[in-house]
């Protein structure tokens, strides 16, 4: 493969740690609630926000699938708050992140979630767009709301091509 190709890897908490946290109920002990009729998987991720008037907001996204391999020409980051994506079904999706190199995104890394896993990006993490593949997918998004500029975008001089494993 050429230098601008990346093969996605399985999403693990250890591999993703430089970019945020993996939201995975298999990593938390369930607590009974509602007289034993429900199980709560508590404190799976933190969504930090900064700035006067900032607040955590919850939204829903209906996302169309992307064709694979994926051409990544643009990444973004949110300097004033974290951002989490939780799938509403058991389909995997693609997560593209880049390390920060002196204020610019470095070489991308790509991860394929296990069914049901989500991600929580740390504030300031360069990342690609929400990327389901194979079929449309719905997500809960937990994000920062409030005043201030919380979006930076970076266009690459040439696109990176992301391949699914196998």
Question: Which three-class secondary structure state does DSSP give residue 57?
Answer: strand
Task: Provide the domain limits for residue 12.
Answer: 5-163
Q: Return the CATH number at 92.
A: 2.60.120.480
* 103 CB-near residues (< 8 Å, 6+ apart): none
Please calculate the CA angle 90-120-38 and round it to the nearest 5 degrees.
50
Contact 45, 86 (CB under 8 A): no
The pLDDT of residue 1: 60
Q: C-alpha dihedral over 63, 138, 76, 45, to 10 degrees?
A: -170
Q: Which helix (H) or strand (E) holds 14?
A: helix 13-16
Q: Which residues of the chain have pLDDT under 50?
A: none
> 130 pairs with which residues across the strands?
none
Radius of gyration of the chain (CA): 16
Helices (H) and strands (E) in the chain, counts: 1, 17
CA–CA dist 95, 130 (Å, integer) = 7
The pLDDT of residue 97: 98
CA–CA dist 62, 163 (Å, integer) = 23
User: Global pTM?
Assistant: 0.91
The pLDDT of residue 105: 98
Q: Considering only CA atoms, which of 124, 159, 134, 143 is closest in space to residue 60?
A: 143
Domain count within the chain: 1
13 phi and psi, to 5 degrees? -60, -40
Contact 107, 18 (CB under 8 A): no
């Amino acid at each position: 493969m050429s230098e601008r190709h990346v093969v996605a890897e399985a999403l693990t908490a250890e591999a993703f740690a430089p970019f945020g946290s993996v939201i995975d109920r298999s990593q938390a002990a369930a607590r009974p609630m509602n007289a034993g009729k429900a199980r709560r998987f508590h404190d799976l991720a933190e969504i930090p926000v900064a700035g006067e008037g900032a607040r955590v907001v919850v939204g829903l996204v209906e996302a169309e699938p992307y064709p694979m391999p994926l051409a990544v020409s643009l990444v973004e980051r949110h300097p004033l708050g974290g951002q989490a994506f939780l799938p509403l079904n058991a389909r995997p999706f693609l997560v593209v992140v880049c390390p920060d190199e002196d204020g610019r995104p470095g070489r991308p890394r790509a991860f394929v979630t296990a069914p049901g896993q989500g991600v929580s990006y740390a504030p300031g993490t360069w990342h690609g767009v929400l990327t389901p593949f194979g079929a449309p997918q719905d997500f809960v998004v937990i994000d920062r709301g409030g005043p201030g500029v919380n979006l930076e975008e970076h266009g690459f001089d040439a696109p990176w091509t992301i391949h699914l494993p196998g």
